[in-house]
Amino acid sequence: MSMDPLVMRAREVWEELARVPVSFVLPGGVDVVVSPRSGLCPGGWVGVVALGGSAIVTAPTDAAAGLVRDALEGLPVEAVTDGVSVRDVLPVARMLGPAALGYVSPSGFRPVEAGALTVEQLPAAHPDVRGLERAAGSEDAGEAALDEITSPAFAVRDGHGRVVAAAGYRAWPGRAAHVGVLTAPESRGLGLARVTGSAAVAHALAAGLLPQWRARLPASRRVAAALGFEELGFQLSIELA
């Protein structure tokens, strides 16, 4: 059976981010490698990415790789990014995720019309975008990471001229576009994330990039689904105790 082209492209992104030779092996397989400079996780942590029924794992040292390999050997591939299952078999100090990984193709993209709204393109470092981050709070701003985008910021203002929603993407290895969306707390539930996110995704697709949506919260996952993203797997980062 041939592999879904979207899964193949997504796997290529994460294989490149591992920064050492690694591959998503046969269905149900988990490939554990040593990569101190891995882009799958923070430095010194263990990074796990499962896509399309198999997984890759990077560890910072040989000792950590051996520990992780032995621990994950008995788990089904769908459990290696499940926080509860991983805590049962590994000494975990801290954990980030799991986060769902969504991708969209040009044919699968469902753009959202702005309607009466005006979507404005702003430089990524525009002070009004920084103002939105302050209004949203450090946790939500950190999740969206608009301070790291390499695209323009696609923004919507309220009647007072304040930016209340914005989206953009950071160009990743493997010609991926990692999308981030942020909405001010008082403006949520109005569809602004879909409008600004749609503009960012359209820009990425026009550049020939693979849009990637990483999300933990159900609301963010619903926005991605509305735009046509398919959830193909999960990412988990682990700091060993």
The ranges of the chain annotated as CATH 3.40.630.30 are 120-231
Rounded distance between C-alpha atoms, residue 142 and residue 148, angstroms:
10
Sequence-separated (6 or more) residues with CB below 8 Å from residue 226: 110, 112, 194
Q: Over the chain, what is the mean pLDDT?
A: 94
Sequence-distant (6+) residues with CB within 8 A of 240 are 45, 46, 64, 67, 90, 91, 92, 93
Residue 74's pLDDT is what? 82
pLDDT bin (cut points 50, 70, 90) of residue 42 is very high
pLDDT tens digits, one per residue of 121-166:
999 999 999 999 999 999 999 989 999 999 999 999 998 999 999 9
Name the band, by pLDDT with cuts 50, 70 and 90, for residue 1.
very low
Residue 220 has pLDDT above 70, yes or no: yes
- Predicted structure pTM score: 0.92
- Residue 18 is predicted with a pLDDT of 96
Q: Let me know: does 151 contact 168? Beta carbons within 8 Å.
A: yes
pLDDT, position 105: 96
Residue 40 confidence (pLDDT) above 90 = yes
CATH no., domain 120-231:
3.40.630.30
Q: What percentage of residues in the chain have a pLDDT greater than 70?
A: 99
The pLDDT value recorded for residue 114 is 85
pLDDT given at position 26: 76
Residue 76, CB half-sphere, CA atoms under 13 Å: how many? 3
Q: What is the DSSP string of 187-233?
A: GTTSSHHHHHHHHHHHHHHHTT-EEEEEE-SHHHHHHHHHTT-EEEE
- Kindly provide the residue ranges of all beta strands, DSSP E only, lying in 78-175, ordered along the sequence: 92-103, 120-122, 153-157, 163-172
pLDDT confidence of residue 116: 85
Position 103 pLDDT exceeds 90: yes
